[in-house]
Amino acid sequence: MSPVVPQTVAVAFTGASGMPYGMRLVECLLDAGCTVWLLYSQVAQIVARQEMNLELPSRPAEVEALLAARFRAADGQLRVFGREEWFAPLASGSNPADAMVVCPCTMGTLAAIAAGLSQNLIERAADVAIKEGRKLVLVPRETPFSAIHLENMLKLARLGVVILPPSPGFYNHPQTVGEMVDFVVARVLDQIRVPHRLMQRWGETGGENP
């Protein structure tokens, strides 16, 4: 069966380590022709600065302009919403994204989603994805996991949420950090059925990646 590209994917950056995964994911989604609705926490701004020397402005409109230029997005292809922008489309089940990915995902955000708290737009959008039966992928960057973390992940997994820790494989012999990032991003894209050429798939040799 051919992959089905979601028309709209919500991506949330939270304050866990792993911002390169999130940024690369947004880039690949835009390259694939998806519309991206981006959300980010205040701590994600700190992580972006620390890990990527990237200053994410506090105003969503400025982040939208910055990343649209960085990734050469088409007009209207990337939209960025504030943390308490309750009139954003993804705050309601009447207009949810086709899929949502929280990457990276803190244990605090994961716990809030598991509890249905909906205290900010990230948590509310995830709550909407669950209740509307849309694909929700969480990329938790923490180690080791405590029993609390595992119980929250199990609760969400039983609801159909995909728990995808950023654990790169080494069977494809990565030579750079970028290739390790692409391994994880490829697995996220596979979960939401967005085609990509980030890595050679298992059992395939030679030629271009499928």
**Strand 78-80 vs strand 162-163: parallel, antiparallel, or unpaired?**
unpaired
Residue 205 marked as a ligand binder: no
Residue 15 marked as a ligand binder: yes
Mean per-residue pLDDT pooled into runs of 10, the chain (210 residues): 80 98 98 98 98 97 98 98 97 97 98 98 98 98 97 98 96 95 98 94 62
Distance CA 100, CA 162 (A): 10
Q: Whole-model pTM above 0.75?
A: yes
Residue 17 marked as a ligand binder: yes
Q: What is the pLDDT of residues 7-22, one digit of tens each?
A: 999 999 999 999 999 9
Strand order in the sheet with 8-13: 78-80, 35-40, 8-13, 99-105, 135-140, 162-163
Residue 108 marked as a ligand binder: yes
- pLDDT at position 210 is 36
Residue 8 marked as a ligand binder: no
Residue 176 marked as a ligand binder: no
8-191: what CATH class?
alpha beta
Q: Where are the domains of the chain?
A: 8-191
Nearest to 27 by CA among 141, 186, 142: 186
Q: Is residue 13 classed as helix, strand or coil in its secondary structure?
A: strand
Residue 24 marked as a ligand binder: no
- pLDDT at position 202 is 87
